[in-house]
Chain A
Amino acid sequence: MTLDDLIASMFPAGHAVKRGLRSTVHGAGRLEDGTEVALIGIVDRTPLTIDAAIEVAGYVLSVIEKGGTTPILVLVDTASQNMARRDELLGLNEYLAHLSKCLTLAALEGHRTIGILYGHAAAGALIATALSTQVLVALPDAEPSVMDLPSISRVTKLPLDKLTELAKSTPVFAPGLEPLFAVGAVTVRWDATKPLAAQLLTVLQAPLAQHDPRDAIGLERKGRLLAAPIAARVAMEANAHG
């Protein structure tokens, strides 16, 4: 699904989205009842550079600065973080962390943050964008990944065909929408054959967990069995001593 089709299907009542300097977008969409939703994003399957990260973070901050509780939709079709010496020299880790903190704080300030993953996102770029939202929606074309299988094969020294076989029985390492849904990273999958406006409204109106629910979701989906009980046990025991 193209960006234009995606936006048109989510906001038949109207939208105004501008292109930023570096394959970023920002603007707003209008729901049927007239309320506004802020739209920001990184698009065109572009690697997340320090320049793009700070631009998107600026859009998030400007929504917060306006006050209110306007929901923020984060449209995501990126690649991995930009792999360049210059970006690392200038502190790419700080730029990605800044974007992630801005999105996380926006949610805590009352702006419902919804990631719309309709294309690629990998590694650090996935962390700083899609995974920094409260609710992550994936379209059928979404291709999230941490690392591609050939790279995992190179590092783990396991043959690619064995990894491919292993990936069928566990969602813990393989790239793709299915495994990332199973572990609880993706909250909900949309049906692209039906109008997206109604599906968006459902997401906007669903009750939100007070705290990060992703470990519980992964447990429920049987894709990530240990994270929730381990985190809960450490949280309880760390405060019980002394």
Chain B
Amino acid sequence: MTGLLPAHEQDWYEASARERIAGLLDPGSFVEVLGPEQRAMSPHLAQFDLTGAFDDGLVVGRGLLDGKAVLIAAQEGRFLGGAFGEVHGAKLVGLLRAARDGAKEGGPQSVLLLLDTGGVRLQEANVGELAISEIIRAIVEARIAGIAVIALVGGRSGAFGGGGIVTACCSRIVVSEHARISVSGPEVIETNKGVEEFDSKDRALVWRVTGGRTRRLTGGADRYVKGRVQDFRDAAIALVEKAPPLTIATLQAEQRRLAERLRLYGDAKDAPEIWEKAGLSDPTHMADLTDDQFLALPMPKEADHDAR
């Protein structure tokens, strides 16, 4: 039914990668690069009896955000879980290098990264992993050149594995309630360490450990939004303006910030222990709050920072 709504009114979680781009950018401004008609597909999937996608699950290009030129990439979480393969990864590497190279020559000053991924595509494990490493280096180089790289997370595949690491390399991170960000997925931890370490079927637990609200409260995300594409658009417009630079001072501040998190919450095994120590009232009912109630909460001091 989402197709009946205007693009910006759509639900981010339900929307496809192309629908998210359409609603996020100024109407009609998106110009795709290496689009599906170019058939840049994975050559590796056939040997696993998998059908490829004409865009290998990543849409890249440029457009306007509130009148300003931006570069944009969106992962299609419904194609192989949005996972990073060789072509998929290389498209993002190319886009980030374009941002870096264009920074001082009047090119777009920001990159929007719509992550929706389970991490490395295991059928292409080595080339996917290496692509993630190249993406990290390209993000760092782009940020040093002055580019704001904004991660937007709220799709059904979340931002897992290398996707979680890439997220935390960005200048700013926007999440919705549905956003799940972590490295090892709950199923992987359960398989390796047992159900008593992490019960991946316990959806409330998974949400508390990896979800958008926990990330926002601890400073793992910079902005929490309601679930419409328009909400992500508003946040992106606000955040591209004042993204923190990536300097030695930034990383020194991040070192202090992450050390302080360990000092304050290092013993915690579940989110309510953190929320209680952070002084939030009624920490056991965080999941029951509406988005409006959550947005009205006073944030702990560690939630807002420029140390990323």
* A interface residues with partner B (beta carbon < 8 Å): 50-51, 54, 57-58, 61, 64-65, 80-81, 83-86, 88-98, 100-102, 104-105, 108-109, 123-124, 126-128, 131-132, 146-147, 151-152, 155-156, 158, 166, 170-175, 179-180, 183-185, 211-212, 214-215, 218, 224, 226-228, 230-239, 241-242
B242 within 8 A of A: no
B34 within 8 A of A: yes
Give the complex CA separation of A81 and B107 in angstroms.
Answer: 37
Cβ-defined contact, B161 with A105, below 8 A: no
Contact with A along B200-225 (1 / 0, CB 8 A): 00000000111000110010100000
11 A-B contacts (beta carbon < 8 Å): A51-B266, A88-B183, A92-B183, A226-B87, A227-B90, A227-B127, A227-B134, A230-B91, A233-B94, A235-B101, A239-B98
B262 within 8 A of A: yes
Give the complex CA separation of A119 and B248 in angstroms.
Answer: 30
Q: A61 and B269 in contact (CB under 8 A), knowing A170-B44, A230-B91?
A: no
Question: CB-CB < 8 A to B141: which residues of A?
Answer: 108, 211
Chain A residue with the shortest CB-CB distance to B44: A172
Q: A89-B270, A227-B89 are in contact. List 11 more A-B contacts (CB 8 A).
A: A58-B259, A83-B188, A88-B189, A93-B181, A94-B168, A108-B141, A180-B126, A230-B90, A230-B91, A238-B99, A238-B102
Cβ-defined contact, A61 with B130, below 8 A: no
Residue count of chain B within 8 Å CB distance of chain A: 91
* B interface residues with partner A (beta carbon < 8 Å): 31, 33-34, 40, 43-44, 47-48, 60-62, 69, 71, 86-87, 89-91, 93-95, 97-99, 101-102, 107, 120, 122-134, 136-138, 140-141, 144, 159, 161-162, 164-169, 181-184, 188-189, 192-193, 197-198, 208-210, 214-215, 218, 220, 246, 248, 251-252, 254-255, 258-259, 261-262, 265-266, 268-271, 274, 308
Cβ-defined contact, B122 with A90, below 8 A: no
Question: CB-CB < 8 A to A172: which residues of B?
Answer: 44, 86, 123-127
Question: CB-CB < 8 A to A90: which residues of B?
Answer: 218, 261-262, 265-266, 268
Cβ-defined contact, B220 with A94, below 8 A: yes
Chain B residue with the shortest CB-CB distance to A183: B126
Q: Interface majority SS on B: helix, strand, loop or mixed? A: helix
Question: CB-CB < 8 A to B209: which residues of A?
Answer: 85, 88-89
Chain B residue with the shortest CB-CB distance to A184: B130
3 closest A-B pairs by CB: A234-B94, A93-B164, A97-B168
Cβ-defined contact, A231 with B93, below 8 A: yes
